[in-house]
Every structure is written in C-alpha cells, then in structure tokens.
Amino acid sequence: MSSEERKTAVGVCGVGAIGSAHASALYGGKIAGAYLSALCDTDPERRKKCAEQFPEVPIFSSHEELLASGLCTVLMVATPHYAHVPIAMDAMNCGVHVLSEKPVAVEVSVARRAVALAKERGVYYGVMFNQRTSAVYRNAKELISSGALGELRRAVFIATAWYRTQYYYDNGGWRATWNGEGGGVLLNQAPHNLDMLQWLMGMPVSVYSDCGISLWHDIEVEDDAVITGRYANGAAMVFVTTTGDMPGTARLEITGSKGKLLVENGRLKIFINTVDERDVRNSAKVSFYRADGSWQDITPEKDGRDGHEIVLENFVAVVDGREERLVCPAEEALNSLELSNAAYLSSHKGASVSLPCDSAEFDAMIDGYRKHGRTVGAGHVEYHDEYSARWRP
Ligand SMILES: NC(=O)c1ccc[n+]([C@@H]2O[C@H](COP(=O)([O-])OP(=O)(O)OC[C@H]3O[C@@H](n4cnc5c(N)ncnc54)[C@H](O)[C@@H]3O)[C@@H](O)[C@H]2O)c1
C-alpha cells in the first residue's frame, strides 16, 4: 500500500486566496495523515493555475463533478460565503466530511440545516477558526475555565486591525456586496474575533449594534461596527471592529470578580486581586478600595505552526479516529454567526435584539438588502503558496 493510500484524501473546493494556501499545505506534505486528492474551481483561470502548481492533482470545474469522482474523504470548502452550505450539504449527502471556511454561512437558519444534515449523515463538519489554536487565546481560555478570574463581568474587544484599501474591495468581485458576501467586516474579517469572544465569555442574552455602512470605503455593506451586549449574569461586552482604522488595534480585556486579563500584540497579561471583589464589597469597612495585586506577564511560547495547518490536521485526525475533538465543530461556529446576525438586525431596527435572534426576521432583512444590492461581478483572485501573515491572530 502506498503512503498516499494510507493517508486521508482531502479535496479543496474554491482555490482562491485561502484555498490555494490550504492546497499548498496539503500538497507540500505539511498536513500529517492527509494528501491533496482533488481540486475544484469554477474559474477557468484558476484551474489553469492549479494545473501548473499541482500538476498531477485532478481538477474539476464543479463541486458536483468532484464529488462524483469519489476522490475525497474530506472536502475543504473555501469558496465565497453563499456557496459554503450548498457545497457542504452536497458533500455530506455523498458521505464526505466537510471542513468549511468561516463564516459557516450568511444566515444562521441556513447553517442550522447543514449542521442537522451532518448529524443525520454521520459525517464530521468543522469550521476553520484558526485563531482558536493561538497560544495566547488557549491560555486565556484555560485561565477563565479554571476560575482564575472569578465571575466574569466585562469584555472589551477592540478588533480593528483589519485595515483594507479601496483596491481590495474594487478587485474582490463578490466582496463587500450583499449578493456576493452577505455582509462586510462583521461577516468576513470579524468572525474570528466574534468566535473568540463567545469562546471565552459565552453568549450574551441581548445585543445592541450600530453598523456603519460604507463609512470609510465605497462599498455597499458595513466597514465599521460597534456592538454592546449583556450576559445572563449581568456582565457586559463592547465589541468594536472596522476595516478603516490605520493603525488598527487588536486588544481584548476581560474582567472578572477576581481580576482581569489582557490580550494585546500577541501577549497575555493577568491581574489577580488578592481579595475577590464580592468579598471586598461585602466586608470592607471603607468607602473606597483600590485593587490589590499586580500585573503578571504570562505570555506563552510563540505559536510554532500556522493555525490553519493545525485545524486542518486536527480535522483529518478526528475523521481518522486519532483525535477526539474538533478544534471548532460547526455547531460552535453557529455562535459567532448568531452574534453577527443579531448585530445586523439590531442596527437595522435601531433597537436591542434578544438572542437567539428571530432568524425569520433576519432572513427577511437580508433578502431585502440583496434585492436592492449590487450585482456581483468577476473579481481578481490572489493565489497564495503559503498562509499569509494577515490571516493570523
Ligand atoms: N480562515 C481564514 O483565515 C480565512 C482567510 C481568508 C479567507 N477566508 C474565507 O475563505 C473563503 C474564500 O475567501 P478567499 O479570500 O480565498 O476568496 P477568493 O475570491 O480569493 O477565492 C474564492 C475561490 O472560489 C472559487 N469559487 C467561487 N464559487 C465557487 C464554486 N461554487 N465552486 C468552486 N469554486 C468556486 C472562485 O473562483 C475563487 O477562486 C471566504 O469564506 C473567506 O471568508 C478565511
């Protein structure tokens, strides 16, 4: 038996900016236990490029043909957003496991259908939330889960390090259109941060949002958003994102009754109160009290590998039964989508929205945007031989 036969066959559907990086990682043997078995892209130029770069790998012009070939055990879906779920569901119906690029879908209602089908068909369904593999965030998660911060009170996430030029949008074809992308910064760049927020804090019970449409670029979707939210225990969050700030900021501060953590510039710091705030409140016989403790830098070792490679390798290992848990099962990816759906709806209504939001109301809203939205044209696609630094946390 050849080594390829012992490895899991992984196909890539949509070989653009990120799909080409996934294909290169597989083709270059960087993903243990997997090999690149097939490719698919609807664009003839892309297929020509793939034939040069991955000479002996079969390439198809539609995902239906790729699935009919029976060449894939796993399919990595890296197309524009609206195609994620239809392709994923067709693959599931062929018994193929699916690792989808983020966002899992545009509408939560659509994503839920795919999650249900994966269960029914008994296939794995994961989502490429590569920032979950980052050491600072994993450490932050462990600290919170261990109770080191006590009861969570507040999260302030400034996720504005997503600067994009007008050139980026003008060349994107499907990008920044209601009909091609289904949203702007909240659906393309910020899902990583929204996923991190819900991963560390859990889900709020309500959100209020103000999405700035076409504020800093000539586009029809939002390039700026401010979301506030409340959790069941009264904790609060503020989430700020844009593709317009230069320089931007990537700063997450989470405060609990026992202290605070801060993730910024790839560093993790923590401040632990010597006394829990609840005990101070209940027993201190003074009116004012200054937190007693000190900041500790507990930045872990730098990430050794690219997070996308880790997520892909983990997915294959779970399919093969060598690992138990996916980095991000699709059910968990519903949460970040739930947050962005609720944020769009809140901004549209100018009112606070309870979670889970009314998905029929969201679907009607986005249908209306699409009806009056621009027609999607062809775009210029970038081709990457490896993962770009801009896709890392
Ligand atoms: N996880 C990350 O870090 C990360 C980074 C970049 C992009 N993404 C996500 O990956 C997806 C793709 O983004 P991109 O920047 O690579 O886009 P892109 O436009 O560069 O590439 C998309 C490719 O899909 C092809 N395509 C379109 N419809 C298709 C279909 N029905 N079947 C087969 N191929 C089809 C296009 O021809 C194109 O080559 C998006 O969902 C995006 O949000 C994720």
Q: What is the pLDDT of residues 197-252, one digit of tens each?
A: 999 999 999 999 999 999 999 999 999 999 999 999 999 999 999 999 999 999 99
CA 250 to ligand 1 center in whole angstroms: 24
Residue 5 has a pLDDT of 59
Q: Measured from the CA of 128, which atom of ligand 1 is nearest? A: 1
Instruction: For a ligand 1 pocket test, name from 75, 101, 131 the mutation site with the most ligand atoms within 8 angstroms of its C-beta.
Output: 101
Looking at domain 7-131+306-327, its CATH architecture is 3-Layer(aba) Sandwich (3.40)
Instruction: Yes or no: say if 32 and 313 are a contact pair by the CB < 8 Å rule.
Output: yes
Q: Is 78 in the pocket of ligand 1 (CB under 6 A)?
A: yes
**Exposed (0-12), middle (13-18) or buried (19+): which is 102, by Cβ within 10 Å?**
buried
User: How far is 277 from 279, CA to CA, in rounded Å?
Assistant: 5
User: Where, residue-wise, is CATH 3.40.50.720 in the chain?
Assistant: 7-131+306-327
Supply the pLDDT for residue 4.
Answer: 61
Structure tokens at 142: 């462990």
Range(s) of the chain covered by CATH 3.30.360.10: 134-303+335-371
Please compute Rg for the chain using Cα positions. Answer: 22
pLDDT of residue 123: 98
Among protein residues, the one with the nearest Cα to ligand 1's atom 30 is 42
140 and 262 Cβ atoms separated by less than 8 Å: no
Instruction: Classify domain 134-303+335-371 at the CATH topology level.
Output: Dihydrodipicolinate Reductase; domain 2 (3.30.360)
Q: List, for residues 299-330, the tens digit of each pLDDT value.
A: 988 878 999 999 999 999 999 999 999 999 99
Residues 109, 345 contacting (CB under 8 angstroms): no
Our answer on whether the CB atom of 132 is closer than 6 Å to any ligand 1 atom is: no
Among residues of the chain, what percentage have pLDDT more than 90? 90
Q: How many C-beta atoms surround the C-beta of residue 345 within 10 A?
A: 21
Q: Whose CA is nearest to atom 21 of ligand 1?
A: 16
- Choose the residue to mutate in 12, 13, 15, 18 for probing ligand 1, maximizing ligand atoms within 8 Å of C-beta: 18
Closest atom of ligand 1 to CA, residue 19 = 16
User: Token pair of 63, please?
Assistant: 């995902």
3 state DSSP class of 115? helix
Lowest mean pLDDT among 32-41, 288-297, 345-354, 369-378: 369-378
The pLDDT tens digits of the residues spanning 257-299 come to 999 999 998 999 999 999 999 999 999 999 999 999 999 999 9
User: Is the CB of residue 180 less than 8 Å from the CB of residue 82?
Assistant: yes
Q: Give distance in angstroms: CA of 17 to centre of ligand 1.
A: 7
Residue 119 CA to ligand 1 centre (angstroms): 25
Question: Can you give the three-state secondary structure of 339-369, one letter per residue?
Answer: HHHHHHHHHHHCCCEECCCCHHHHHHHHHHH
Question: Which residue among 63, 77, 79 has the greatest number of ligand 1 atoms within 8 angstroms of its CB, and so is best to mutate?
Answer: 79
